[in-house]
Amino acid sequence: MSVIEFVDSHTAGEPTRVVIGGGPALGDGALPERLQRLITDHDAFRSAVVNEPRGSDVLVGALLVEPEDPACAAGVIFFNNVGYLGMCGHGTIGVVATLAHLGRIQPGRHRIETPVGTVSALLRANGEVTIENVVSYRYRRDVEVQVADVGVVRGDVAWGGNWFFLVDSPPLELTIANCDKLTEYAWAVRCALNGHKITGAGGAEIDHVELSAPTAEADSRNFVLCPGKAYDRSPCGTGTSAKLACLAADGKLMPGQVWRQEGILGTAFEGSYRMENGSSNRIVPSITGKAHVTAQGQLILHPDDPFRAGIRV
Ligand code: PYC
């Protein structure tokens, strides 16, 4: 029988399960290499932690690992119901809240390694966390894609730690009541992007679709569809970073100016950015939000359990 120790939290409604013990031994070295070992040799671990019957499609997992750089508070590898994430904004805020809950960190600035780069996190005494994300940028502007049963959809391709296709003012109202229709629409866009081989830099798959529209309560409201077809309950940290990169590229948001990004539940992140040193089109986004710890416990993986490795569909 194996036992996996975890702490659950949610950030603006989006859950994160941080594995604090019992994870696979991935050796040392750079995080991208350890991620590769996790993918190749231990994918059943990912599925056991986040998929049913122990988890659900919406859950994001975060495996804590020893950082390569001892100046970092932790290394983390994020994963979901279908695979692995480069970075995860709400998840990093959840990791910071979890480390604070465990007494491993105190308010102040901390560095956290991810497979796509080191991010910094400022934990405040009131529990709010501001992450300074990886360098983000718009890769392509106003890309046209023919979507089956929908027609032509236009959007930007941007990197915010994951690859996003950002569509402004879609033909559906961004309300939770429309969630099934929004999922169907965003999924059709995602399939069309893949089908037409529209990718991020280096042929990377665009696996997140972000729909945005103006709202009275914030600068914008979004609906973000994640790679495994679950929608982000939060405003999505990497998605907000990608949005900031597009706003910066269009000259619609200045460095240091605050952007209030609301998600589909009405919860919000605050974002701002600075330019990357020496760059005219790459930004370093900051995202502020708060996570709440909801559970701590052990997952039991019994050899007799037919769903020891989760239900994979
Ligand atoms: O907050 O970056 C994020 C995120 C990515 C997928 C789900 N949440």
Contact 312, 51 (CB under 8 A): yes
**In angstroms, what is the span from residue 21 Cα to ligand 1's centroid?**
23
Structure token pair of residue 291 = 């996570």
Determine the average pLDDT of the residues in 108-135. Answer: 98
pLDDT of residue 313: 81
Out of 72, 226, 236, 246, pick the active-site residue.
Answer: 236
Determine the average pLDDT of the residues in 99-117. Answer: 97
**In angstroms, what is the span from residue 96 Cα to ligand 1's centroid?**
15
At residue 11 the predicted structure's pLDDT band, cuts being 50, 70 and 90, is: very high
Structure token pair of residue 9 = 């939290």
**pLDDT by residue (tens digit) across 243-259?**
999 999 999 999 999 99
The mean pLDDT value of the chain amounts to: 98
Residue nearest to atom 8 of ligand 1 (CA): 236
Report how far residue 48's alpha carbon sits from residue 26's, in angstroms, rounded to the nearest whole number. Answer: 17
- The answer, yes or no, to whether residue 25 has pLDDT greater than 90, is yes
CA-227 nearest atom, ligand 1: 6
**pLDDT by residue (tens digit) across 43-96?**
999 999 999 999 999 999 999 999 999 999 999 999 999 999 999 999 999 999
pLDDT of residue 284: 98
Is this structure's pTM higher than 0.75? Answer: yes
CA-11 nearest atom, ligand 1: 1
Question: Measuring from each residue's beta carbon to the nearest atom of ligand 1, which residues come in under 6 Å?
Answer: 14, 60, 85, 88-90, 162, 226, 232, 234, 236-238
Phi, psi (deg, nearest 5) at residue 241: -65, -45
**What type of residue sits at position 171?**
P
**In angstroms, what is the span from residue 234 Cα to ligand 1's centroid?**
8
Determine the average pLDDT of the residues in 265-280. Answer: 97
**What number of residues does the chain have?**
313
* Least-confidence region, from 53-57, 219-223, 277-281: 277-281
pLDDT of residue 253: 98
93 membership: H or E segment, kind and range: helix 89-101
**In angstroms, what is the span from residue 303 Cα to ligand 1's centroid?**
32
For the question of residue 88 being annotated catalytic, the response is: yes
Determine the average pLDDT of the residues in 15-26. Answer: 98
- The answer, yes or no, to whether residue 261 has pLDDT greater than 90, is yes
Give, for ligand 1, the residue of 58, 85, 159, 290 to mutate: max count of ligand atoms closer than 8 Å to Cβ.
Answer: 85
Structure token pair of residue 126 = 């009131």
Q: Examine residue 107 and say whether the peptide bond preceding it is cis (omega within 30 degrees of 0).
A: no
pLDDT of residue 287: 98
High-pLDDT (> 70) share of the chain, %: 100
